[in-house]
């Protein structure tokens, strides 16, 4: 029985070590916790993990590729390793420091907890064991479902606006344009040049704010922001004067 019961109220050391639901940490989290020399992580991993003849891949450690942020805001993929509690305990002991002792004691408790759970599992009736195994499988499926849902929601949010979003933005632009022009019966609205200038400026404002060529390229998650920007839009002074002058002519008709 490899799973450790997930504790949602993690202790400070569990948070610092990034402990997951299986009681595992990562090489980078452990390296940082042990306060080892900066810039030596790759050599430390090669010496103590991948080059360790007593360490078995996919048992003591699992290779990972993670996204790391660059100083310029970009991202780069780096190597990392998931570490079992037993292997992390051995690595902690090798540091021979106060932090190493803290980590060692923690991983000893994790191992003891896993042994106790395994012992209890072995002493259960076959029927109860079967129930627990099914429950664990259901839990794993639920977690995978939650992960897939999160990925879908992120993908959906990063997609360009849906047809309904584009239509809502378009309606907001039309409504704002009519309002600025003074209504559909106004001189400004019925003057093609003035009407085109107003709508073009609103659309230009959207393109400028979202860095797109067409407002249809705005992301789905930004659709509400786009509508709010349209609603709060104020035309530049020169354009407002053009609208006012066009509408003022009505008084002399």
Which is more confident, 143 or 40? 40
Residue 130 CB partners (closer than 8 Å, separation 6+): none
Residues 190 and 221 in one domain: yes
Q: Give the burial class of 209: count Cβ atoms within 10 A of its Cβ; 0-12 exposed, 13-18 middle, 19 or more buried.
A: middle
Task: Supply the range of the domain harboring residue 230.
Answer: 163-252
Q: What is the share, in percent, of the chain residues with pLDDT greater than 70? A: 75
In total, how many domains does the chain have? 3
In a domain, 137, yes or no: yes
Q: Virtual CA dihedral for 50, 23, 17, 146, nearest 10 degrees?
A: 100
- The owner of tokens 């996919």 is 58
Tell me which DSSP letter residue 221 carries.
G
Q: Do 38 and 88 fall into the same domain?
A: yes
- Dihedral angle, C-alpha 91, 94, 99, 103, nearest 10 °: 40
Q: What is the pLDDT of residues 52-110, one digit of tens each?
A: 999 999 999 999 998 887 777 778 889 999 999 899 999 999 988 999 999 989 888 88
In a domain, 44, yes or no: yes
Does 7 map to a domain?
no
CA distances from 145 to 121, 133, 139, 156, 245 (A): 27, 18, 10, 16, 61
pLDDT digits (tens, 9 = 90+) for 205-242: 988 888 888 767 787 778 889 899 999 999 999 999 99
Token couple for 215:
């407002």
Q: Are residues 185 and 245 in the same domain?
A: yes
What's the pLDDT score for residue 5? 40
Residues 75 and 86 both lie in one domain: yes
Among 59-68, 112-121, 142-151, 227-236, the least confident range:
142-151
Please tell me whether residues 131 and 210 are part of one structural domain: no
The mean pLDDT value for 125-140 works out to 58
Question: How high is the pLDDT of residue 2?
Answer: 44
Q: Are residues 48 and 133 in the same domain?
A: no
179 shares a domain with 240? yes
């Amino acid at each position: 029985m490899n799973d450790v019961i997930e504790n949602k109220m993690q202790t400070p050391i569990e948070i610092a070590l990034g402990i997951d639901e299986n009681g595992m940490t990562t090489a980078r989290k452990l390296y940082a916790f042990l306060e080892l020399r900066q810039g030596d992580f790759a050599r430390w991993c090669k010496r103590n993990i991948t080059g360790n003849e007593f360490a078995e891949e996919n048992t003591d450690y699992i290779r990972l590729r993670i996204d790391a942020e660059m100083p310029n805001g970009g991202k780069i993929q780096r190597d990392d390793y998931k570490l079992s509690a037993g292997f992390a305990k051995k690595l902690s002991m090798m540091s021979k420091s106060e932090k190493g002792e803290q980590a060692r004691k923690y991983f000893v408790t994790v191992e003891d907890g896993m042994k106790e759970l395994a012992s209890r599992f072995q002493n259960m009736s076959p029927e109860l064991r079967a129930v627990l195994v099914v429950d664990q499988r259901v839990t794993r499926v639920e977690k995978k479902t939650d992960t897939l849902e999160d990925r879908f929601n992120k993908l959906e949010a990063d997609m360009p606006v849906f047809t309904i979003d584009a239509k809502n933005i378009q309606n907001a632009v039309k409504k704002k344009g009519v309002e600025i022009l003074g209504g559909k019966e106004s001189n400004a609205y019925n003057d093609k040049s003035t009407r085109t200038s107003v709508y073009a400026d609103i659309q230009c404002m959207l393109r400028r704010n979202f860095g797109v060529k067409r407002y249809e390229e705005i992301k789905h998650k930004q659709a509400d922001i786009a509508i709010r920007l349209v609603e709060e839009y104020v035309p530049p002074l020169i354009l407002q004067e053009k609208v006012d002058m066009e509408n003022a002519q009505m008084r002399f008709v």
